[in-house]
């Protein structure tokens, strides 16, 4: 087991309380001055639980890989880090040059650690690495890859699970078994969002020093929100509950929601999640009627599970519309799942609509939905 590259403890960070600039009564977070480094936080965490050293080592390795990937992305075509299509991965998705490079960097950085099993979006099957390892790691090396060639935010997502006795079950565990989860956004800033099971912290890459520094601690998502994210080009394929929810959002102050909504769609799960953690909101990638989209688009093990863990740790909610994402366990590595996540009130509303066809019908009836007829 390679020791974590941990540095001095004892740095103190001065703090101030911030609030999301979004809607609702934002619970806010603690804004940090950036003196506390990821290494410091990992070192403190190392002593907390039997798995903690292995988890800290994996996070440390992923952070090192993220610094390399951030450099690569920033160089773009100059470093042959492009959105050029190189083929398809085992799940049939278009694979870009950068998907392959990010996967190689992460596997090299994680490769020196004692990890029981490793899974990646870019690998056909999970790999058993070290039977004595205490943890299993699942990665989406590059999320939002359709954004690469337009210079928009992409990211890396990771999930860390305990190693079960039977390693063939490594990635068939419930999402609630996760020990840690996080993601990195490669945008104007490179940020690392992390939960070790006790809240959510956001770190910013200090490029000069080559380390991540704590920027926000104890992130909390506001319960209500005024922003939704969904790929509306698929509207005609949606199920009635999803259509009803979005119709409510679009009706704004004149509809049952009784307030206006803004809309964003970046096409990059990491960027949507970062926005929700910053100013609230709700994200939906539901199942729809297109061939191959019966379970939505996003993958359970290395996209929905880690995102759900982070969002719940920040006081939000993540659901298929019918079930809590963290209750689910995958039948296969690349299994897809509908994902609705974000501010708790909006996710609850989507769930209500999924459970109650009469409610859906009432939202769809134009007179009922309008203020002035049935609402005072
Ligand atoms: O192009 P669509 O259908 O809007 O899908 C966008 C979604 O697909 C993804 O890009 C899937 O992730 P990958 O890029 O890792 O395959 C998400 O980041 C994003 O939310
Ligand atoms: Mg992805
Ligand atoms: Mg990907």
Q: In this structure, which residue's CA is closest to atom 2 in ligand 1?
A: 267
Q: How far is CA 193 from CA 121, 196, 217, in A?
A: 20, 10, 10
According to the model, what pLDDT value does residue 151 have? 92
Sign of CA dihedral 119, 120, 126, 128: negative
Which domains does the chain possess? 15-217 (3.30.540.10), 227-369 (3.40.190.80)
Between the CA of 74 and the centroid of ligand 2 the distance, in Å, is 19
Q: In this structure, which residue's CA is closest to atom 10 in ligand 1?
A: 144
Distance CA 156, CA 358 (A): 40
Burial (CB count <10 Å: 0-12, 13-18, 19+), residue 367: exposed
Candidate of 184, 230, 235, 285 to mutate for ligand 1, largest count of ligand atoms within 8 Å of Cβ: 285
Distance CA 184, CA 172 (A): 24
The count of other CB atoms within 10 Å of the CB of residue 35 is 12
Residue ranges for the chain with pLDDT beneath 50: 1-27, 367-376
Q: In this structure, which residue's CA is closest to atom 14 in ligand 1?
A: 144
Pocket of ligand 1, beta carbon within 6 A: 93, 121, 140, 143-146, 231, 267-269, 285, 297
Which three-class secondary structure state does DSSP give residue 42? helix
Ligand with an atom nearest the CA of residue 146 = 1
Ligand with an atom nearest the CA of residue 144 = 1
According to the model, what pLDDT value does residue 25 have? 33
Tell me how long the chain is. 376
- DSSP collapsed to 3 states, 312-328: HHCCCEEECCCCEHHHC
Q: In this structure, which residue's CA is closest to atom 11 in ligand 1?
A: 144
Cα-trace Rg, the chain: 21
- Residues near 350 by beta carbon (within 8 Å), at least 6 away in sequence: 241, 242, 245, 282, 284, 319, 321, 340
Q: Write out pLDDT tens, residues 137-169.
A: 999 999 999 899 899 999 999 999 999 999 999
Instruction: Calculate what percentage of the chain has a pLDDT beyond 90.
Output: 76
**In this structure, what is the dihedral angle of CA atoms 234, 240, 245, 247, given to the nearest 10 degrees?**
70
Between the CA of 177 and the centroid of ligand 3 the distance, in Å, is 23
Residue bearing tokens 């190189």:
86
Between the CA of 266 and the centroid of ligand 1 the distance, in Å, is 9
Cβ–Cβ under 8 Å, residues 195 and 6: no
Distance CA 348, CA 2 (A): 44
Between the CA of 308 and the centroid of ligand 2 the distance, in Å, is 14
Joined tokens for residue 125: 């099957």
Between the CA of 118 and the centroid of ligand 1 the distance, in Å, is 22
Residue bearing tokens 């103190």:
12
Distance CA 226, CA 244 (A): 16
Q: Which residues of 51-60 are buried (b: 16+ CB within 10 A; e: fewer)?
A: bbbbbbbbbb
Q: How far is CA 357 from CA 235, 360, 366, in A?
A: 18, 5, 16
Ligand with an atom nearest the CA of residue 98 = 3
Q: In this structure, which residue's CA is closest to atom 9 in ligand 1?
A: 144
Annotated binding site for Mg(2+): 121, 140, 142-143, 303
Annotated binding site: 121, 140, 142-146, 231, 303
The count of other CB atoms within 10 Å of the CB of residue 133 is 21
Q: In this structure, which residue's CA is closest to atom 15 in ligand 1?
A: 143
Cβ–Cβ under 8 Å, residues 279 and 227: yes
Beta bridge partner(s), residue 211: 206
According to the model, what pLDDT value does residue 22 have? 35
Which three-class secondary structure state does DSSP give residue 72? helix
Between the CA of 143 and the centroid of ligand 2 the distance, in Å, is 4
């Amino acid at each position: 087991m390679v020791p974590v590259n941990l540095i001095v403890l004892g740095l103190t960070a001065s703090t101030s309380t911030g609030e999301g600039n979004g809607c609702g009564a934002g619970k806010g977070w603690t804004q940090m001055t950036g003196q506390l480094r990821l290494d410091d936080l990992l070192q403190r965490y190392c002593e907390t639980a039997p798995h903690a050293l292995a988890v800290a080592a994996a996070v440390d390795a992923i952070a090192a890989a993220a610094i390399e990937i951030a450099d690569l992305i920033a160089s773009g075509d100059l470093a042959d880090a492009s959105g050029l299509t190189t083929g398809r991965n085992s799940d049939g998705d278009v694979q870009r040059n950068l998907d392959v490079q990010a996967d190689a960097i992460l596997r090299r950085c994680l490769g020196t650690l004692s990890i029981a099993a490793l899974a990646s979006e870019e690998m056909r099957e999970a790999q058993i690495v070290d039977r004595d390892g205490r943890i299993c790691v699942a990665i989406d090396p590059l999320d939002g890859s359709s954004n690469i060639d337009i210079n928009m935010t992409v990211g890396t997502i990771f999930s860390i699970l305990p190693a079960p006795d039977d390693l063939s079950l490594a990635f068939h565990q419930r999402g609630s078994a996760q020990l840690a989860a996080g993601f990195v956004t490669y945008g104007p800033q490179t940020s690392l969002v992390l939960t070790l099971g006790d809240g959510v912290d956001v770190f910013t890459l200090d490029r000069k020093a080559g380390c991540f520094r704590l920027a926000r601690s104890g992130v909390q998502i506001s319960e209500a929100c005024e922003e939704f994210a969904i790929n509306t080009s698929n509207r005609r394929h949606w199920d009635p509950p999803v259509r009803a929810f979005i119709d409510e959002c679009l009706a704004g102050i004149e509809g049952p929601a009784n307030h206006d909504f803004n809309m964003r769609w970046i096409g990059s799960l990491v960027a949507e999640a970062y926005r929700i953690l910053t100013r609230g909101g709700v994200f939906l990638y539901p199942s729809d009627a297109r061939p191959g989209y019966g379970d939505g688009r996003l993958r359970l093990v290395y996209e929905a599970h880690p995102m759900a863990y982070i969002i719940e740790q920040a006081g939000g909610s993540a659901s298929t519309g019918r079930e809590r994402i963290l209750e689910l366990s995958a039948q296969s590595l690349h299994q897809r799942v509908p994902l609705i996540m974000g501010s708790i009130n909006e996710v609850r509303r989507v769930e209500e609509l999924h459970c109650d066809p009469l409610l859906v019908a009432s939202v769809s009836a134009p007179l009922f939905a309008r203020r002035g007829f049935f609402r005072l």
